[in-house]
Amino acid sequence: MAKVGVSEKTFHTWKCALDPNNRWIKAEIIERIAVRVWCGLCTKHVDRLRGFCNFSEAFVNGIQESALKSDALAKHMSSAAHMRAESLESGPQPLQNILESTPIGNPRWTVCHAHTQTHRPVLVGTKLLINLSQLLNNVQID
Ligand SMILES: [Zn+2]
């Protein structure tokens, strides 16, 4: 019988070694067998990774069957495209900190959390600053 995946136990061993914080390795597990494994980060940022040097959609579509090896996961983790996805993921962090720690960002920030897309806080934050500047422009100074 053809091997269709790796045992859930083996998969967890890989995950603990390569992704202990549960940041990127995702799997489809059927009857305790990991049949397909993909990268959550590269999938999330795929639109910005396309056209990137050596970018392969293998870890977006998911690897399976004979391609499903810990070596492949380790190789993906150190690939340029994956590192780019990592930096895209952590990129908005400073702005998020600013928004959360200033009175300007706070009122809308709770709304932002309802959206999972990372660019939302940037757009909302920018819009807020524009609104603020419009508000200031409208203030009459006697
Ligand atoms: Zn990746």
| Tens digits of residue pLDDT in 41-80 | 999 999 999 877 778 899 999 999 999 999 999 999 999 9
Q: What is the value of pTM for the model shown?
A: 0.63
pLDDT, position 31: 95
CA 127 to ligand 1 center in whole angstroms: 31
CA distance 42 to 50: 10
CA 91 to ligand 1 center in whole angstroms: 15
Q: Which residues of 19-52 are buried (b: 16+ CB within 10 A; e: fewer)?
A: beeeebbbbebeeebbbbbbbbbbbbbbeebeee
pLDDT, position 91: 72
Exposed, middle or buried, 90 (CB in 10 Å: 0-12/13-18/19+)? Answer: exposed
Q: 26 phi and psi, to 5 degrees?
A: -120, 150
- Positions in the chain whose pLDDT score sits under 50: 1, 108-117
pLDDT, position 112: 47
CA 89 to ligand 1 center in whole angstroms: 11
CA 58 to ligand 1 center in whole angstroms: 10
CA 138 to ligand 1 center in whole angstroms: 47
